[in-house]
Structure 1
Amino acid sequence: MSRTWERKVRKNTNQINKARKKHGASQIGTSSKPKVDRFTGRNYIFPIVLILLISMYTVFVTTDPSFEPTSMFWVTIGCYIFLALIFFLRRPYISIGKDYIQTRKMTGDKQLHVSNIKGISVQNGAVVIMQQKGANWVFSRLLNRYPTDEIGSRLQDFAKTHNLPFEQK
């Protein structure tokens, strides 16, 4: 009985919110999401390396006198260019939430909670988050075009809130 009641309440709330939205009124029953600051960068070094590798491959293979282009040759070139495009368009980010820091690594999105952070170091053009276990997370203006000044000021507030060691160089 409880689930059907919850479904009815949710359905009615959605209907009322749609009507209120049409009239420009604020919605009811919606919980506001916690504030998360998200800073994005741009990955350009790895795509350039992929394009250079496929260029070298193409030059070396086509200079062979016995070379005859096959469809697999063109598929290989196309796949490498497509992979470079994916890495260029898939922007790296750092999200700073209430009690965690999240970023995208090669294996997917990773989240680091306050209890796993040893300290935070901000340098000119780079931000380093030191973990209790594992490698440090480095966010660089040179490699990934992160806005390190904005990230550093937000992380300083984060460190002050959670009593984490913060070092400004």
Structure 2
Amino acid sequence: MSRSWERKVRKNMGVVNKQRKKQGNGQIVLNAEKSEKIVGRNFIVPILLILFICLYVVLMQSSTEFQMDTMFWVTIGCYILLAALFYFRRPYITIGKDYVQTRRFTGDKRLPVSAIKGISVQAGYVIIEQHKGGNWVFSKLTNRFPTEIIGEKLKQFAQANGIAFQQK
């Protein structure tokens, strides 16, 4: 099947599923798109935010003219909520039939096969090189990604789509 036909089917399927949802019926899944979602855990940014909060509290208490009023505690509470948001919003990589998707700081980003230059796997790191823009790096150290599993899945993805794959 051509990709344009697949896009038309996917688009029409979305329309039908919206109508079925309004009617209270279940959604139709025809030839469900097979994708693998692999998640990590973000712990560095929450730790840095908690350390920043501690530094803020210590510096504010050492000030002689500072009073711990309501705004001080609201600020600390907001930073704790931000740290919790970063901790519970787990980073992921989804490997589909003809795309790779992940969450960046600006939102979810999808990279089609045509935009991928090559894939490099080394101990603790997986790097997806793009034709335009910066490389996507998935690290075991910073985001606790299971890089061995990601490397195996991306090797199959690269072979299926004719992408250069390099294992170091």
**Length-normalised TM-score, structure 1:** 0.83
List 4+ stretches of structure 1 deviating above 2 A. Answer: none
Alignment-derived partner of residue 86 in structure 1? 85
SS of 1:73 mapped into structure 2: helix
Q: What is the 5 A alignment of 1:74-153?
A: 74-153=73-152
> CA shift at 1:138, angstroms?
0.2
Name the Cα RMSD after superposition: 2.2
Counterparts of 2:116 and 2:159 in 1: how far apart (Å)? Answer: 13
Alignment-derived partner of residue 72 in structure 1? 71
* Structure 2 spans left out of the alignment, 5+ residues: 1-15
Counterparts of 2:166 and 2:88 in 1: how far apart (Å)? Answer: 33
How many residues align structurally? 150
Counterparts of 1:157 and 1:96 in 2: how far apart (Å)? Answer: 10
> CA shift at 1:32, angstroms?
3.6
Identity score, percent: 54
| Structure whose alpha-carbon radius of gyration is higher | 1
SS of 1:34 mapped into structure 2: coil
> CA shift at 1:30, angstroms?
4.1
Alignment-derived partner of residue 24 in structure 1? none
